[in-house]
Amino acid sequence: MSDAYCSDCKRQTEVVFDHSAGDTVCSECGLVLESHSIDDPVRVGGPTNPLLADGGLSTVIAKPNGASGDFLSSSLGRWQNRGSNPDRGLILAFKTIATMSDRYYY
């Protein structure tokens, strides 16, 4: 149990965390202050894709820029692209569809 501000009671009140539902509840009035905080996809990881063999959870090596604006890990990106990936065609198709839908939307 901890203290939080309840917008219904308009004061600091003791809150109870319901572990089974993942809700934070005001102990005075029963108002749910935060709903399903455990199952929030923003807090537990990225999206998965059931159509891909690994669920879309593979590691992607980005090409971050250094202070001078140069690519720091271009050789790592090349090695990543050389590796065998059974879903490479499917990933490319998803990217193409996303690009086409972005163009159509705007």
Q: For each of the chain's 106 residues, which pLDDT tens digit applies?
A: 567 788 888 888 888 888 777 788 888 888 888 876 665 555 556 667 777 776 766 665 555 555 555 555 566 556 555 656 677 778 788 888 888 888 886 6
Instruction: Spell out the domains of the chain, with CATH numbers in brackets.
Output: 2-43 (2.20.25), 46-105 (no CATH)
Strands of the sheet with 23-26, listed across from one edge: 2-6, 11-18, 23-26, 32-34
Place of tokens 């929030």: 40
- With a threshold of 0.75, does the pTM exceed it? no
Q: How many other CB atoms sit within 10 Å of the CB of residue 31?
A: 15
Q: What's at 14, amino acid-wise?
A: E
Beta bridge partners of 17: 24
The predicted structure's pLDDT at residue 103: 85
